[in-house]
Amino acid sequence: MNGITGTTKITGIIGYPLTYTLSPLMHNRAFNIRNLDYVYVPFVVEPKNLKNAVEGLRALNIKGVNVTMPHKEAVLSLLDGLSEQSKLIGAVNTINNEDGHLIGYNTDSTGFLNSLVEEGFDPADKTAVILGTGGAAKAVAVALAQAGAREIAVIGRSAEKAQAVKTSIAVANRYILVKTLTFQENLADIFKKGELIVNATPVGMKESGDLLLVPLKYINAAHFIYDLIYTPEETALIKAAREKGARAVNGLGMLVHQAAEAFKIWTGVSAPIDEMRQALIHGLKSGEQPGNV
C-alpha cells in the first residue's frame, strides 16, 4: 500500500467518547499485510448525532465501520438489514455497506467462539456459566448456544436482564437447559458443575481491585475460565484460577477474532490473525489505553 488515493476504501469505528481504541492498529496493519487499498479511522460520534452519522456513512460511501459503546443497540433501527446473529443478540458491532445498503453484523459472538476453539476448548455438550447480562454476555451466550453447549447458567445483578439473555439462548438453540440466577443466590452447585466460566462484566478491570465474582473456594483445576477483560492482562479472576491449577485466558483472543471477522466482511479476504494479534499486543505494551474494541 502506498498511501491514501482517490480509490481508497474507508472503514473505521464509531463510538463515544472513543478516547482510546486499538482497532485502527489492528485493521491498518491487516490492510497493509494483505496489500488492500483500505484505511481504518476513528469517528467520535455523540449519541445525539448517531442518526446523522449513519446517514453520513451512506452519503460518504464509507465501506464499513465497527460500532462500539454506547451505540451497539441504538444503531439497529437505523440500518437497512441485520444478520441473524445481530438480531439474536440485539446488538451490532460491525456495519457493512453493501451497494448502498447498510447491513449490521455482530462479530463479538463469532469472535468469542473462534477464540475459545483456538484455546482448545470445544463448548459442544459442555456446561457453561456466564457472569453478566449485558451485550457481551448475550454475544457469548448465543455463541455457546449455537456451538451446542449442554447447559448454560446466566448470573446477573438483575433477574430481568438474566431472563433476556435466556430468551436469546432459547431462540438460538431451544434444546439447551438454561438457568438464570442472581449473585445473591447460593451458587456453589452452579460453579461446581460449570466446566466453562465466562466473565462478561467489567469486574476485574483496574477500578474493581481484587473483587472476585467467583468466590475462590468455588474455583477448581477442572475449570476453564475465560475473562473477556484484556487489560490488565491478568485479572484477579485469572490469577486466582491459575493458582488453583485451572486454565484461564483473557479477552485478547476475542478482540482479535471479532476484528478478523469484521475484516473478512468488509474485504472478502481472510484476515492475517497473527499479525493483528501482534499489532494489538504491541499497542497494549506501548501504553495505548484500550477502549471496548
Interface positions with ligand NAP (CB under 6 A): 108, 132-137, 156-158, 161, 200-203, 213, 228-230, 251, 254-255, 258, 292
Helices (H) and strands (E) in the chain, counts: 10, 12
Report the length, in residues, of the chain: 293
Q: Are 253 and 232 in contact (CB under 8 A)?
A: no
Report helix, strand or coil for 73.
coil
Q: What one-letter code names the amino acid at 102?
A: L
Q: Name the residue nearer to ligand NAP (CB basis): 10 or 225.
A: 225
* DSSP-based three-state secondary structure for 267: helix
Contact 109, 85 (CB under 8 A): yes
Candidates 62, 143, 57, 157; CA nearest to 108 is 143
What is d(CA 25, CA 15) in angstroms, rounded to the nearest whole number?
A: 16
d(CA 231, CA 206): 8
Kindly name the residue from 48, 51, 63, 72 that is annotated as catalytic: 72
Identity of the residue, 52 or 158, whose beta carbon is nearer to ligand NAP in the bound complex: 158
**Segment holding 130, helix H or strand E:** strand 127-131
Q: Is there a catalytic annotation at residue 72?
A: yes
Task: Tell me whether residue 4 or residue 205 sits nearer to ligand NAP (CB atom).
Answer: 205
- Residue 24 or 156: the one with the smaller Cβ distance to ligand NAP is 156
- Alpha-carbon distance of 54 to 276, in angstroms, equals 27
Q: How many CB atoms lie within 10 A of CB 211?
A: 11
Nearer to ligand NAP, 108 or 151 (CB): 108
Shortest spacing between CB 174 and ligand NAP, in angstroms: 24
- Least separation, in Å, of the C-beta of 151 and ligand NAP? 20
Residue 203 Cα to chain centre, angstroms: 16
Which residues are the active-site residues?
Answer: 72
